[in-house]
Every structure is written in C-alpha cells, then in structure tokens.
Structure 1
Amino acid sequence: MTAFATPEDIAARTAAATNAAVAAGRDLGLEITEGRVLYELFSVVVHLVPSPVVARVPTVLPHTTTPESLARRQRQELDVAQWLHDQGTPVIPPSTLVPREPVQRDGFSITFWPFTDEDKSSEPDYLRNSELTADLHRALQDYPGELDFLSSAEPRFVREGLDELEGLDVVAGEDLARARREWEVLEPLVSDEDAFRRRFPGIEPQPIHGDSPPANIFASTGGPLFSDFELVTRGPVEWDLAGLGPELVAAYDRGAARNGLRALDEEVLRFVNAVGAIRVIAYLSCADQLPAMVEFMRPFIDQWRATDVYA
C-alpha cells in the first residue's frame, strides 16, 4: 500500500471524475452547464445540470478490477435495471437520453441514470426496505440474463487483499490471522457453485442484487425505488441480507411469506455474514484510496470479532 490519499488528493480525484462525466455527457449530446456532485464515497455521482441525467463514476476500486471487468459489471447492472423496469418493478432505470452502455473517458468508466427527486422528509426505513427486498427477489427470479455465481464476493480480491494487509497497521494482526483461517474455509464455497450446493443442499441460487438492497433503496418523491445494481450476481438470497441482524431478517421473512418465497436459512446467513466480514477486512487494502473507510469499517469488524470462528 502506498501513502494514504490526502483530502487534496481526494478532491482532485472527485474533480477529475466530474470533469470526465461532463465531457462524456456532452459528447453524447446532452446540454450541460455544470457537473453538480450529489454524492461521493466509492463512486462520484454527478448531476449533469440542467439535463435530467446523473452520471455515476466509480473511483475507489480493488486492485483486481480492470477497465474490461468494470465495464462488464456495469453492462450487467444496466441490463438488469432496464429489465426490471420493463417488468414494472420500481427501480431507477438507465437514462433513456443516452445509449445504454458504460462510457470510458479519461481513465474512468461512467454510466448514466435519470435524475430522480429525493424525498428527504424522513429517515431511511430499513425494516420496510428489508421486507421490500423480498419483492425484488421475486422479480429477479425470472431474469433471463447470464450472471456469475457470487461474483460480488470477489474471492480473488479478498485473497490478495488479505495478503496486502500483512504488516500494515490498518488491521490488527490477530484479526488478520483469523480472517485468513476463515477464508481458507469460505473461499471454495464462494468460488464454486457445486461446492456451495453440496454444503447447503436445497438452497437454490438465483439472481440477486449483490450489495445490500435494504441500504440501496432510493426514497424518491414517488416512492421507494431499487437502485445501485453494481454488484448484481447469482447466489443465495441470504447474501442480500448479510450483516443486518435478526430484526431486519424477520422483516425480510414477512416479505418472503407474502411473495410465496422461503424464509432465510440460518446456516446460510451465518455463511454470508462470515464472507461479508472477511470482504470488509480485505477492503481495508484499499484504504490508501479512501482513508475514511478505516473508521467506517470498524463497527463491522467489531461485530465480526464477537462471532464464533467460521469452520
């Protein structure tokens, strides 16, 4: 890991991503007077004012991500979001004002979405969102596109990320040692669908959101909308509820019963919670790009420390 990015470095990266989004949008024929940053963390989200278009620009990426793999993932996201929209599922679909393709510009890969008014009148309702996630899973069961098994677990990145953390002070040595032991058990199950099926007979993988949909439901003025399918994949539905706790699991199960779906399986939940925790630790290898993630990830690591070792 090189030196940590300074606030000036991050501001420069945000400015470069914004400029790339504006230039790409103009090349596509959009009228743009300014790029207004709406959000930034792992991606920079830019409103291309006055066009009703938002550009999303990933900026903090694992070292295993290539321009080709990122563009492939973005195409899957665009395709899934469009398909869900066409089926009448409440989602934020791709923008209709530009081609439905990621655009490469100045070292960034950019996707375009409709500007959507946000309802800021109340706090996020994660109980409701967890129950709504079952609606999404029911809709995704019929998705006809090809998706890889648990690609959002990023097994190669996790393995190499844990290696990169050796000797660094962003994670305690005993935590890293435990993470390595657990990953020896977990990696085969996320890398091989047949191995997963043998370990969890009767659990059928299906298309899933891949990145905690209860935290990625956008509160629009017209109602809740599913969004951010950047890590869409195939896997057990439990993956989408990883790390959320018993109250939100119970809310999902209510939605599952309403949709005629099975309840969440406790053993699979334990598995996905363990994978998610190790993935969080591995992402600390990207802390040089986003130093704030060290504090941001700490509660997740504390929660993992309190669990039994996965074996």
Structure 2
Amino acid sequence: MRDWERAVASATAVATSLGLRTDDAVVLHRSNRLTLRLSPCDVLARVAPVGHGAARFEVGLALRLAATGSPVAALDPRVAPDVHERDGFEVTLWTHHAGPPEVPAPEYADALARLHLGMRALDLPTPHFTDRVDQARRLVADPDRTPELAAPDRTLLTDTLDELEQAITGRRAPDQLLHGEPHPGNLLATERGPLFVDLETCCRGPVEFDLAHAPDEVAAHYPDADPDLLRLCRLLVLAMITTWRWDRDDRFPDGRRVGTAWLDRLRTERVQSRRNGP
C-alpha cells in the first residue's frame, strides 16, 4: 500500500472511531500533507506523517484565531479539537465547506485584513519569513535535492533570493504574524463568508509578504499596502515557489513543467525589476 493510501485509511479509521460515518474518501489535495473529504459525515480531514510537526500548531492557532472572530475555517464541532494519531499519521478533522470557486477581490482583501487584525492580537513564537527564504536557499544550493535544476537557473534563483531578501528587510517595514501562504487555494468561499485554511505556513513579516500570494487585484482593496514593497515581495515569492517545484520530492501536479514556466517568468520579471530598483 502506498503512503497516501495508508494516510487515507488512517483518516477513515480515525473518523469512524469517533462516531462519524465514513463510507467514502475523496482526495482533494496531495502534497506534503493529504487533504480529504470524508462522506457521508462531510468532514475535511488533513493527514500528515507523525513528526511533520505542523498539525498541533495549526489546531492551536485556529482555535485562538476563531476566538478573535478571525475568518478561519473551524475544526469539526462533533469531535474534540485535537490531533488524532493512528498508524504513523496525524489526522485533524475540519468543517467541510462547499461554495463558489472564487472570492471577489474586495471580499478577499477584507478577509485578509481581518485575519491580520486578529493575528496582531496573538503573541506566539513563529518563524520569520526570512527563515522560509533560507529554506529555499538551502534547497537551491543542494544538487542532491534539486538534481534537475540547471546551473544557470540555480544561479538565477540564488541571486534573486539573496537580493530580494536584503531589499525587503532593508526597508524595515513593521513585522506581524502572517498566514504565510494566503493564495486562492487557501481561501474558501462559504456561507459565513471567505475563510482561510492551511495555517501551517504561519510566519512573521510585513503584510505585503502575505499580499504577494494573493491575486494582483486584491492589493488594490487592501488598506495602506506599500506598492514598492509589494512589488519586491511578489518577486521574492515567485522565486520561492519556483524553487519548491524543483525539489526532487515535490508532489505538485505537473511540477516540472510549472517550474520551467516560472523560471522563464522570473527571468523576465528580474529584468523589469532592475529597471525599477533591486
């Protein structure tokens, strides 16, 4: 049995043991963690290997943010809000929401601003966004982990990560708790309004780092965003997500093709960026 099949079996067993009827499991997303919809109990299950380390942090953060009224998805109210371990996997159970696939830009920006407001009320240790940049830098520097990355592309990514990190931190913008990856795939349209999911990437940094993950039109509706800082953050995020696509263990669908396209885009945007600054 493959690892993801074992993960599905663990999630199904956990839900059943907690009294939730589970006749079917549909894989919604498969990367470093598996996201499933369990039916007919209609639960969203997130599954990761024991030791992944993010599940307990994510559950605790979701509960604290919910208490501030922040727009985050809720754990399933029928079971204890906890991390359930079974057969080498950590399973968390969340409320499943069905809704339209896209959130309009004004609502997206409002939800992100309210999330940031709620996050400012919390005080907890989290990595800085520069720690995530360093993770990308180490990946690029390790040919064993990125064996298909050509030398010129390796140099492009390294130089971009170094220069953009320095340019962003040099602006000394205020840091705060961030979602880390509030892209459209992590925002649900629900009857309660837009709700953010996948809090494991939480970090500290300027709000523009979060905005850089959202569609361009969202920034126009976000209050007091710095357009120059946002431009730098968008380019840095592009370099980071391009790096992830060249990880030998990356499970992003059609990841190599996407990674090649993003390298081409990065080259073009670097030329344009140098005309405007770093």
Q: Same fold (TM over 0.5)?
A: yes
Q: Does 1:183 align with 2:144?
A: no
Aligned to 1:305, the other structure's residue is in SS state: helix
Check conservation: 1:161, 1:283, Cα contact below 8 A: no
Which of 162, 173, 188 in structure 2 is aligned with 1:218?
A: 188
Q: Is the 8 A contact 2:71 2:196 kept in 1?
A: yes
Deviation at 1:232, TM superposition (A): 1.3
- Cα deviation, 1:228-275, whole Å, max 9, x if unaligned, reads 2121121111111115565332122xxx2xxxxxx2223432442233
Asked if residue 173 in structure 1 is aligned to residue 177 in structure 2, the reply is no
The two structures, once aligned, show a CA RMSD in angstroms of: 3.1
Distance 1:154 1:173 in 2: 19
- Name structure 1 gaps, 5 residues minimum: 1-8, 60-66, 191-195, 257-262
**TM-score when normalising by structure 2:** 0.81
Task: State the identity %.
Answer: 24
For the residue of structure 1 that corresponds to 2:245, the secondary structure is: helix
| Equivalent residue number for residue 67 of structure 2 | 86
Matched letter for residue 303 of structure 1:
R
Task: Name the residue aligned to 1:293.
Answer: 255
Letter in 2 for 1:150: F
Q: 1:279 aligns with which of 210, 215, 240?
A: 240
Distance, in Å, in 2 between the alignment partners of 1:165 and 1:273 is 28
- 1:218 and 1:159 mapped to 2: Cα distance? 32
* CA shift digits 1:188-208 (9 cap, x unpaired): 789xxxxx3xx123x111111
Aligned to 1:200: 171
TM-score, normalization by structure 1 = 0.73
8 Å CA contact 2:219–2:225 kept in 1: the answer is yes
Aligned mates of 2:214, 2:263 — CA distance in 1? 14
Of 112, 125, 148, the match for 1:146: 125
Q: Cα 1:142–1:275, aligned 2, differ >3 Å: closer, same or farther?
A: same
Deviation of the 1:154 alpha carbon: 5.4
CA spacing shift, 1:188–1:94, aligned 2, 3 Å: farther
Letter matched to residue 284 of structure 1: R
1:229 lines up with 2:203 in the alignment: no
